Structure 1
Amino acid sequence: MNAEVRVNAVFSDHMVLQREATIPVWGTGLDGMVVKLQFHGKQTEAVVANGCWRADLPAEKAGGPYELIIEAGNQLIVFRDVLIGDVWLAGGQSNMQWSLAQTDHAQAEIVDSHIPDFRFYDVPRVSYEDGIVHSPSWKVCTPEHAGAFSAVAYYFAKGIITELGIPIGIIGCNWGGTSIACWVSEQVLTHDDDLRIYADEYNEQIENFDWDVFAAKEAHYKEQIAEYDRRFAAGLREKELGDFPAAPMNPHYFLRPFGLYSTMLLTVVPFALKGVLFYQGESDAHRPLIYDKLLTAMISHWRTIWHHSMLPFLFVQLPAFGNGGNANGKEWPLLRESQLIVTEQVPYTGMVVALDCGDLEDIHPTNKKPVGERLALLALERVYEQPVESSGPVYKDYLIDHNKIILHFDHTGNGLEARGNQLIGFEIADETNEYVSAQAVIEGATVEVWSDQIVNPLAVRYGWANYTEANLVNSFGLPAGPFRTKREERQ
């Protein structure tokens, strides 16, 4: 189609536009063309300059369906069944991408997924500008389409619609295996002494890059994949199975830093949003002590490009995972702590604890329903200001009583509880900083922790392992996240 004027691909039939905010509509065309827009009885226009145009529609209340009519010369473009509601971008890696069809009890949920006020748009996963024209579109939530939606986003949207009765649009912008470094500009990484390691490593890998040499490396990589698949089919797991082979880096690889920022994220900027949902961290767990800086930089960057300094960011703390046979490792608890630090330091952010939604052997736990529902609770409380409790117990402070440490918590509801018969997951240490497994009992809104091996306790930590079955919850059944009374190793 050699149209003189094009509208950005994010606009289509069945879309949801953001309520109570200016609505940007944009595209490309021939310089000098006048583009006229009509929507819900209101009109605006723009003139194409330097091949681009943008028109801003005035804010609207929730409602619909409406038609968006665009005229330019002899062209007439009509988008039908357009709703006004709240639009959330669902970003991250595979656990956000994970489809509803791949989750627990999927078929029963999909059969009952007639939610006409929920619409989903998946940004095409494009690793480099290959010239291919993609034609994505918004999908109405029906049994025909729901199975392909992000499961976390699905349960989030369902929860918001159930409670507030407003249309919800989800823009899925995610790709499995990606680091945050994939989703920010090169400048974000190179202008920070700690974060530039992502850019430096990539630049070193592609220095003097040769496509012929790469072809040989790629052939070897495919052989490694085949061998990995054979070991997996033979029943080998964890250390016997080994790590999934790493693909050779190249300038078109989707895992390269600052690539998907251009080829995916920027394709939907500045589409008006209510907020961002984010589930990521697994691919950055090898650098847990700078993850708080990395996530903070991304949040600031996205708020800048959207021109929305208070854009809400709600994210998922990593669940329990054995990390390839390293269940007792400390990489993931350190990254979870970095995620917690972001909520303490960056305004208009929130985090849901998913420690109890993990899997010892599978980095892709299939129990996504609680994760999406907890994100909905978080949004209801923090963004929509509804009178709900969205948080599990949050460590507040402690006092030492002889050989015990007494922990105090916020967000306890009507009291603390142990999910199961006995409270587990606590460790205690003295001046040696050597932690040992501890006994713990609940006393109202406090937890008393001790060990016969520790006479003069100084510190406690909870859920401090890659995989843990720590089970402290509040009266609402929401879990406590891992914590330490002393944050060592962060200097």
Structure 2
Amino acid sequence: MKPIPVYGTADAGERIEVQLTGNNASAVTDANGKWKIMLPPMEHGGPYELSITGRHQKIIVENILIGDVWFCSGQSNMDFKLKNAEGGKEELKGVNAVHRNIRLFRLEAIAQTDNSAWDSLTLVKTNRGEFFSGNWKDCDSSAAADFSAIGYYFGRRLAKEENIPIGLIQASVGGSPIESWIDRHTMEQDPLLVDELNNWRKSDFYQDFCRERSSVNLRNATNDKQRHPYEPCYNYETAIEPLTSFPIKGVIWYQGESNAHNVELYHHLFPALVNSWRKKWGAAFPFYYVQLTSIDRPSWPSFRDLQRQMVKEIPGTGMAVTLDLGDSLNVNPTRKKEVADRLAALALHYTYQRPVAANGPELIGTDIRGQKMILQFSHARRLSTGNGKTPTGFELVNDKGVRFAAAASIHANEAWIEIPPGERFQKILYAWQPFTRANLVNEHGLPASTFSKKLHP
């Protein structure tokens, strides 16, 4: 449990009184009219009533729940609406009856970053930082329909298994690069990133898609300094910063499609984002993210492998593997419930300390026995395949860089790879195709990640 902040603005020097279910406190606004009151922690529950009284006005807020709030952010796959997800329409039929302990806060954008030119009003509001708006809503069919499918299913499972109120805040923009979600101070103080602040629409660090799409959206702009949600820091400043005084339990993140062209740079950017958000909130909250799925884009295997490695590099993180849920042609596959369930499993296991399987098989060692290479995996008592067929997705790379598909068999928590005679191999790959049909899973059905492992020093 954490103290409960209540804050706002009024006239300078005005006395503000706050009351929440028997807890009373007061404060005097500062010279800028800002005030903040910290109420003591409360047990999960509700609904409660909050009253805020000033010199000339009294505000009463009803139907308040005390629970855990999770922040859901990223680009189009996090933005993907429940009503458009596989099984979403059927799910919505029962929402009103079962989700009274879930609250939704969706930061809705005034325009989509689609392939269209924005009108003058949208451009003006975007420049003013008025790109997002939103408020808390009950989790009824109307609010849930347009909410993130992944966020909704994630919250639904937590609320059910923990039996506590769950609040979900969604801030996501289709196509947005990670730079748009990082704060300005972090970018300014980073010699690798600072130049992006001034020339992002011409920077090679930015994916062609982001530069091209923003140019379409800004086709009618007459302001040389016209802003856009793909711009470095923009989404942080307009969506994240205003909420950093609000306590959250943790973050779920699905982003990377617009940065997958530059794997090395993302290795620098992602830790910068995680660290900056934790610093701004003043809490080392858990940060669970989705590994990119499968699609026919050349850099994606390397990007997935980087995401796998960063779990070990950034404390308090976890990664949901989704390579088995991809679509070879569509960057937005519709099977979002499975993604959310894997994120929820991470939260239940690592944050709520529940005995829930949360990780797929992870390579921990290799051994050579005759003409076989033995791969040992953790997070698996017994390996199997997701489709019940022969294991696939393994490749060996020889000392000339030539890749060979490798036959594999399963023995308890080991995969045995047949070594072709007459070759010296330097590396083993798994699920290294952009769109992969690799099928290794553990006894809980959780898939193994893309990986690359050197076999010799």
Structure 2 residue 80 is the aligned partner of structure 1 residue 98: yes
Mapped partners of 1:481, 1:249: distance in 2: 44
Mapped partners of 1:89, 1:65: distance in 2: 21
**Do the aligned partners of residues 220 and 138 (structure 1) sit closer, same or farther apart at CA in structure 2, a change above 3 Å counting?**
closer
Q: Work out which of the residue numbers 363, 379, 390 in structure 1 matches 2:358.
A: 390
Give the 3-state SS of the residue equivalent to 2:331 in structure 1.
coil
Look up the match of 2:325: 357
TM-score of the superposition, structure 2-length normalised?
0.88
- Contact 1:289-1:334 within 8 A present in 2 as well: no
- The offset of 1:197, in angstroms, is 5.4
Give aligned pairs, total.
427
Superposed CA RMSD = 2.4
- The offset of 1:487, in angstroms, is 10
**Do the aligned partners of residues 148 and 52 (structure 1) sit closer, same or farther apart at CA in structure 2, a change above 3 Å counting?**
same
Structure 2 residue 6 is the aligned partner of structure 1 residue 22: no
Mapped partners of 1:307, 1:21: distance in 2: 12
- Contact 2:132-2:239 within 8 A present in 1 as well: no
Mapped partners of 1:463, 1:195: distance in 2: 31
Look up the match of 1:35: 16
- Contact 2:131-2:238 within 8 A present in 1 as well: no
Look up the match of 1:419: 387
- The offset of 1:264, in angstroms, is 1.0
Matches within 5 A, 1:215-230: none
Matches within 5 A, 1:305-320: 305-308=280-283, 310-320=284-294
- The offset of 1:254, in angstroms, is 1.4
**Do the aligned partners of residues 454 and 374 (structure 1) sit closer, same or farther apart at CA in structure 2, a change above 3 Å counting?**
farther
- Contact 2:51-2:58 within 8 A present in 1 as well: yes
**Do the aligned partners of residues 201 and 402 (structure 1) sit closer, same or farther apart at CA in structure 2, a change above 3 Å counting?**
farther
Mapped partners of 1:417, 1:219: distance in 2: 45
Look up the match of 1:245: none
Look up the match of 1:210: none
Mapped partners of 1:109, 1:87: distance in 2: 22
Paired amino acid for 1:322: D
Matches within 5 A, 1:316-355: 316-323=290-297, 329=298, 331-355=299-323
Look up the match of 1:179: 177
Look up the match of 2:165: 167
Structure 2 residue 49 is the aligned partner of structure 1 residue 67: yes
User: Any stretches of 5+ residues in structure 2 without a counterpart?
Assistant: 111-124, 204-214
Structure 2 residue 53 is the aligned partner of structure 1 residue 53: no
**Per-residue CA shift, 1:77-107, capped at 9, x if unaligned?**
1110000111000010110011000111221
- The offset of 1:135, in angstroms, is 5.9
- The offset of 1:293, in angstroms, is 1.9
Mapped partners of 2:417, 2:237: distance in 1: 50
Give the 3-state SS of the residue equivalent to 1:155 in structure 2.
helix
Matches within 5 A, 1:34-433: 34-49=15-30, 50-114=32-96, 115-125=99-109, 128-130=126-128, 136-196=134-194, 198-199=196-197, 201-202=199-200, 251-308=226-283, 310-323=284-297, 329=298, 331-433=299-401
- Contact 2:109-2:133 within 8 A present in 1 as well: no
Mapped partners of 1:448, 1:152: distance in 2: 36
- Contact 1:417-1:442 within 8 A present in 2 as well: no
- The offset of 1:455, in angstroms, is 3.0
Mapped partners of 1:118, 1:218: distance in 2: 38
Paired amino acid for 1:94: S
Paired amino acid for 1:199: L
- Percent of residue pairs identical: 34
Mapped partners of 2:89, 2:43: distance in 1: 35
**Per-residue CA shift, 1:49-78, capped at 9, x if unaligned?**
123211111111100000111011121111
- Contact 2:430-2:452 within 8 A present in 1 as well: yes
